[in-house]
DNA sequence: GTTGCAGTTGCAATGAGTTGCACAATAACA
DNA sequence: TGTTATTGTGCAACTCATTGCAACTGCAAC
């Protein structure tokens, strides 16, 4: 896989721990949490520490091989970037998540570059808001009554 | 101030703790951290707990009276929303932050609404990337050598 | 080979933020 | 006013993630 090559080319060691983390991210279909990665790594080799998993994830993130995204669950999720650029819309009411193409962010990216000379890292966004179904409901409700999830 | 009225109108109590937190956010000029708020609250009344500060901030956030933003410092910062909508570009290399007008995000907001029926909460974004000055530097460097901040 | 050294790991401690729970404060109602 | 229901707070325990440090690894120079 291309990640391992990139890692070595940049002068980082391809340790067993890093290989295991990479394998598991590759095998996982969608977004995966650090805890899930750690558990699967430990099935193969039980002595790998969670801090090593986090350090590996931070390294892969720095190299833009994976994305780190807060989907509003209280912990972050990771995903391979080589699997096509896309982003997500997360409904703050029902919690559902909808993917959308990177295409929709390209005009913004171009504008930030042109107006401010800023090259934005638009790897994998999670944009919060109200989905089509929840939008009418929220407008009506007096915000206090009938709150779906146990907030505040 | 309008925040206190909103709070009461929505049926929330205007407790001394909440008033102190609101006061401090109003008095602070830019973005402020929970820890800073807590310290200033304690100068007035030393028995307020940090969890009450966090709970108040989460409430104000839910009501869209303040924004909560990760500016890449390892903790989040809060800012009054009534002080004009804007966002920030944060350079991942030099750490500098540049404000930009909400105007630049409006086309995206419109597009998400039109294409996906999704009403995005674009309260106060921090978009990471490379600023004008750092952009040339990053392209050249082999990523490993001469890394400014003590990463990985 | 063995010495030197940068890179990496495990472990324990720490930091930021949240949560369960008992109690306090306030509102609602008689 | 007294009684009860609701909301909010303090505290301690907890979760997710990061960090300092000592020990270990792989590699190159001597
Ligand atoms: Mn995704
Ligand atoms: Mn701001
Ligand atoms: Zn929804
Ligand atoms: Zn910069």
pLDDT in tens, chain A (152 residues): 688 888 888 889 999 999 999 999 999 999 999 999 999 999 999 999 999 999 999 999 999 999 999 999 999 999 999 999 999 999 999 999 999 999 999 999 999 999 999 999 999 999 999 999 999 877 655 444 444 333 44
Using the predicted structure, report yes or no on whether residue B6 has a pLDDT greater than 80.
Answer: yes
Question: Can you tell me the mean pLDDT for B36-57?
Answer: 97
pLDDT for B139 equals 62
**Which residue in the set B62, B131, B151 is minimally distant from A62, CB to CB?**
B151
Single out the residue of A32, A76, A29, A37 nearest to residue A56, CA to CA: A37
% chain B with pLDDT above 90: 84
CA of residue B2 to C1' of nucleotide C8, angstroms? 54
Interface check for B76 against chain A (CB to CB < 8 A): the answer is no
CATH number of A85-152: 3.30.1490.190
What is the reported pTM?
0.91
Domain parsing of chain B, residue ranges: 1-83, 85-152
Q: Which two tokens mark B17? A: 């703790």
Rg of chain B in Å (alpha carbons) = 19
pLDDT for B149 equals 35
Whole-number Å distance between alpha carbons of B94 and A82: 27
Q: A66: exposed, middle or buried (C-beta count within 10 Å: 0-12, 13-18, 19+)? A: buried
B22: part of which helix (H) or strand (E)? helix B16-27
Nucleotides of C under 7 A from a protein CB: 7-13, 15-20, 25-27
pLDDT for A5 equals 83
Domain A1-83 belongs in CATH node 3.40.309.10: no
Using the predicted structure, report yes or no on whether residue B151 has a pLDDT greater than 60.
Answer: no
* Top-confidence residue, B77 or A143: B77
Instruction: Give the pLDDT confidence of B97-138 residue by residue, as tens digits.
Output: 999 999 999 999 999 999 999 999 999 999 999 999 999 877
pLDDT for A1 equals 67
Q: Chains A and B: how many Cβ contacts under 8 Å?
A: 105
Question: Can you tell me the mean pLDDT for B22-41?
Answer: 97
Using the predicted structure, report yes or no on whether residue B152 has a pLDDT greater than 90.
Answer: no
pLDDT for A145 equals 43
- Near ion ligand 2, which residues have CB within 5 Å? B 79
Q: Which residues contact B128 (CB under 8 A, 6 or more apart)?
A: A120, A121, B72, B90, B91, B92
Single out the residue of B21, B23, B52 nearest to residue B37, CA to CA: B21
Whole-number Å distance between alpha carbons of A10 and A29: 26
Single out the residue of B128, B124, B121, B133 nearest to residue B97, CA to CA: B128
Residue at minimal CA–C1' distance from D27?
A: A13
Rg of chain A in Å (alpha carbons) = 19
């Amino acid at each position: 896989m291309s990640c391992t090559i990139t890692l070595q080319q940049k002068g980082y060691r391809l340790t067993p721990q890093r290989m295991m983390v990479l394998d598991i991210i590759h095998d996982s279909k969608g977004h995966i949490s650090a805890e899930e990665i750690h558990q699967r790594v430990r099935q193969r080799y039980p002595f790998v520490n969670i801090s090593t998993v986090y350090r590996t994830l931070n390294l892969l993130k720095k190299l833009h091989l994976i994305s780190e995204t807060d989907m509003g669950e209280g912990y972050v999720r990771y995903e391979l970037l080589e699997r096509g650029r896309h982003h997500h819309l997360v409904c703050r009411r029902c919690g559902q998540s909808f993917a959308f193409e990177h295409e929709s962010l390209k005009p913004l990216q171009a504008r930030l570059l042109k107006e401010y000379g800023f090259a934005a890292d638009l790897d994998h966004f999670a944009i919060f808001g109200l989905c089509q179904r929840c939008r009418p409901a929220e407008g009506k409700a007096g915000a206090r009554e009938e709150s779906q999830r146990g907030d505040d």
